[in-house]
Structure 1
Amino acid sequence: MKKFTFIDLFAGIGGIRLGFESVGGRCVFSSEFDADACKTYQANFGEYPSGDITKINAKNIPDFDILLGGFPCQAFSIIGKKEGFNNETCGTLFFEIERILKEKKPKAFMLENVKNLTAHDNGNTFKIIIKHLEALGYNVHSKVLNALDFGVPQKRERIIIVGFLDNVKFEFPTPICVSKRKKIGDILEKNVDKKYYVKDEIKNSRLQRLKNKNYPKPYISHENMAGSITPHPYSSALRAGASANYILINDERRPTEREMLRLQGFPENFKIVVPYGKIKKQCGNSVAVPVIRAVAANMLNAIKGLK
């Protein structure tokens, strides 16, 4: 397999990096703003990411083949509506990706974001993003992919945007066969410490509101806005800002740190160096590694000319 280089922007704890390293990529630069995420990243990759991307000159970034970024989505600037196309993305973190692509002109990029990006502001935000990427000379492809289809027991839908300078033939990966997908039972730890178990009153309250009282264990349930408890044979999407008991296993306990990492497809040797609340936030902000690996493999197939 040919080696290629990439940069890891808005790196978090390195989920996207893991996916691209697994198909032969080498990271030459990373950037992350959050100090706790940087601590986890350093423990696992041996490097502390550069800080705030808005303060980094694109000229100082080493040359690379593919730009990667799970960029945070903030609303786009109203200024753009008054000042035209060039200023539409000002003040957003997408603008940082745009200026680096403009300066470095890599062969390709892959961006990841929440599914709702496609609907934000009646689809205008997404249209602006695609238009700006195409204006830089890239052939752009986008699709919503679900982590459930790629082997982890978590329903997590994310928009993936990829682009190539050359007009290559690219297709998004297809779901893996059901028999190869992990089930909840495959990711659960045995002999879990009692600190993960919820108080009896929480447990009883959840069980009373459980939609299907005879649902087979193990299951994962979450509480929706209306307060009803729905069991599933998979986890709902891990969320950075979710309440402590947002998802519970068998309505008895919270998932452990390792179980949350497994729900995102992280390897068993991934080091946990921050407290529970922080790893919960980091997993919620991260990506399902098998989804990224599948996209990375298809991108490489498309760019057969990578040196």
Structure 2
Amino acid sequence: MTVAAPLDLLKQARARFTQREIAAHVGKDIKTVRRWEKGETPCPSMLEPALRDLLHSSGRTKAGAVTGGTQFRFIDLFAGIGGIRMGFEAQGGDCVFTSEWNDFSTKTYRENYPADGEHALIGDIVSFPAEEVPSHDVLLGGFPCQPFSIAGVSKKNALGRPHGFECTTQGTLFFDVARIIAAKRPAAFLLENVKNLLSHDKGRTFDVILQTLRDELGYEVHYRVVDGQHFTPQHRERIIIVGFRGKTSFSWDDLRLPESGPRLGSILHRTDGSEPVLPWDHDRFFDHAAKRVQPKYTLTPNLWTYLQNYAAKHRAAGNGFGFGMAYPDSVTRTLSARYHKDGSEILVYQGEQLRPRRLTPRECARLMGFPDTFRIPVSDTQAYRQFGNSVVMPVMREVARIMLPHVQNLLAAQTRHGSKQTLSLYS
């Protein structure tokens, strides 16, 4: 039997099933299915019976709900490189729509989540009609923080005139989250942002967000600041806002946050010969023959002198500014999008005889909780920006875990009640 036969069956199956469903049915990882589709590895002939069996099954219920491995459908807004998506896929979610405006981030996203014809990856969400967004159970979005105009709302309040989120939030990217929630009414949402969102514009920005989600859109809303250092060796506090279209017993106390997280040494390239050889990295970041990080990541003499003098100047002035030296037993400072400039917030100590070095982009991926299977197809500069703007993926995976039972309960209740606004009837 030739390889072409199972490959043809795979193509037929992809017309009806997601990659995740196929992977679950044949007992393989979803990335393996992606490699078959891209022709990177041959689709084994021994899978022909399993693929034929899948094609003969009904696959989807009349309501459109996916059977098998998929438990809910979600959309990924302000997607970046897909960190939030990866966390929710790990809990059985199926991404049906993506929006990301940055071309470099889109390149990385497509490399790791190949376009498969099942859902669109669009650019700027601002001009995209909400009605054309596919129906979904969960909306995800790491939206940028922007100030809102409060003056117009206050004036309308004084005049006794009604106002809504469209008036309050128009012109901000949060408005696009709100209009999609209003149009599609998902069972739940997760929004992620920097911790400072709580105090942004003296707290007014966050007040408008809560008012919009709770009062205007009618969702039960919970929020909490979570530090990524429970899962990766990085102090990274982010606010996570979750909401449900209905009453739930959701509690942040259900989060499983390890008291003692990993240390920096766990994500650094290993120089003892055990560093894995990744075919998509080759020797880009690590010289496997020499068993060392590529020398280009060590600071130049001029940059190291500059950073030391800069730190000394601020110490003399009584300020705390300066570089952050990191050791194998360290929990690092927060990785920022500006890391490519000088790496000053996280400098890896290399002994007294060597200048410190930056983290490599692969180490940055690990610091954010991305697996080594995650591919980095862009330049180092763009990679540093992308990981600095991303999320600690294991945090998203854990939040998805505690959200899932409540999403399922809402969907089940909605189906029982037979509402005209059934949450799981997909378009």
TM-score, normalized by length of structure 1? 0.89
Alpha-carbon distance in structure 1 between the residues aligned to 2:154 and 2:335 = 35
Unaligned residue ranges in structure 1 (runs of 5+): 212-223
Alpha-carbon distance in structure 2 between the residues aligned to 1:183 and 1:282 = 22
State whether structure 2 residue 223 is matched by structure 1 residue 155. no
Q: How does 1:1-307 map to 2 (within 5 A)?
A: 3-47=71-115, 49-78=121-150, 79-83=152-156, 85-86=163-164, 87-134=167-214, 135-149=216-230, 151-172=231-252, 173-178=255-260, 181-190=261-270, 191-203=292-304, 226-231=320-325, 233-242=330-339, 243-246=341-344, 247-250=346-349, 252-305=356-409, 306=411
**1:58 Cα deviation from its structure 2 partner:** 0.9
**1:148 Cα deviation from its structure 2 partner:** 0.5
Counterpart for residue 417 of structure 2: none
Deviation larger for 202-211 or 23-32: 202-211
SS in 1 for 2:293: coil
Seen in structure 2, the aligned counterparts of structure 1 residues 3 and 225 have a Cα distance that, compared at 3 Å, is farther
Deviation larger for 9-18 or 297-306: 297-306
Identity of aligned residues (%): 43
**1:228 Cα deviation from its structure 2 partner:** 3.2
Alpha-carbon distance in structure 1 between the residues aligned to 2:343 and 2:408 = 46
Deviation larger for 187-196 or 26-35: 187-196
Deviation larger for 252-261 or 198-207: 198-207
Alpha-carbon distance in structure 1 between the residues aligned to 2:201 and 2:145 = 12
Alpha-carbon distance in structure 2 between the residues aligned to 1:31 and 1:281 = 18
The answer to whether the 8 A contact 1:168-1:303 is kept is no
Given residue 257 of structure 2, which amino acid in structure 1 is its aligned partner? P
**1:55 Cα deviation from its structure 2 partner:** 1.0
Q: Larger relative CO (CA 8 A, sep 6+): 1 or 2? A: 1
More strand by share: 1
**1:114 Cα deviation from its structure 2 partner:** 0.5
**1:133 Cα deviation from its structure 2 partner:** 0.2
Alpha-carbon distance in structure 2 between the residues aligned to 1:277 and 1:192 = 17
Alpha-carbon distance in structure 2 between the residues aligned to 1:261 and 1:83 = 47
Show CA shifts across 1:173-228 (max 9, x none): 141142xx3211110013100011111344356568889xxxxxxxxxxxx97543
SS in 2 for 1:271: coil
Alpha-carbon distance in structure 1 between the residues aligned to 2:193 and 2:392 = 12
Given residue 179 of structure 2, which amino acid in structure 1 is its aligned partner? R
The answer to whether the 8 A contact 1:77-1:92 is kept is no
**1:304 Cα deviation from its structure 2 partner:** 3.5
Pairwise CA RMSD = 2.2
**1:241 Cα deviation from its structure 2 partner:** 3.0
Given residue 337 of structure 2, which amino acid in structure 1 is its aligned partner? A
Given residue 225 of structure 2, which amino acid in structure 1 is its aligned partner? V
SS in 1 for 2:94: strand
Given residue 200 of structure 1, which amino acid in structure 2 is its aligned partner? P
Q: How many corresponding residue pairs?
A: 292
SS in 2 for 1:286: coil
Unaligned residue ranges in structure 2 (runs of 5+): 1-68, 158-162, 271-291, 313-317, 350-354, 413-427
Alpha-carbon distance in structure 2 between the residues aligned to 1:262 and 1:83 = 49
SS in 1 for 2:212: helix
Alpha-carbon distance in structure 2 between the residues aligned to 1:272 and 1:102 = 36
Deviation larger for 81-90 or 109-118: 81-90
Alpha-carbon distance in structure 1 between the residues aligned to 2:168 and 2:319 = 34
Given residue 202 of structure 2, which amino acid in structure 1 is its aligned partner? N
Seen in structure 2, the aligned counterparts of structure 1 residues 264 and 143 have a Cα distance that, compared at 3 Å, is same
SS in 2 for 1:189: coil
Alpha-carbon distance in structure 1 between the residues aligned to 2:304 and 2:122 = 43
Alpha-carbon distance in structure 2 between the residues aligned to 1:275 and 1:225 = 34
Seen in structure 2, the aligned counterparts of structure 1 residues 238 and 229 have a Cα distance that, compared at 3 Å, is closer
Structure number with larger C-alpha Rg: 2
The answer to whether the 8 A contact 2:146-2:205 is kept is no
Counterpart for residue 217 of structure 1: none
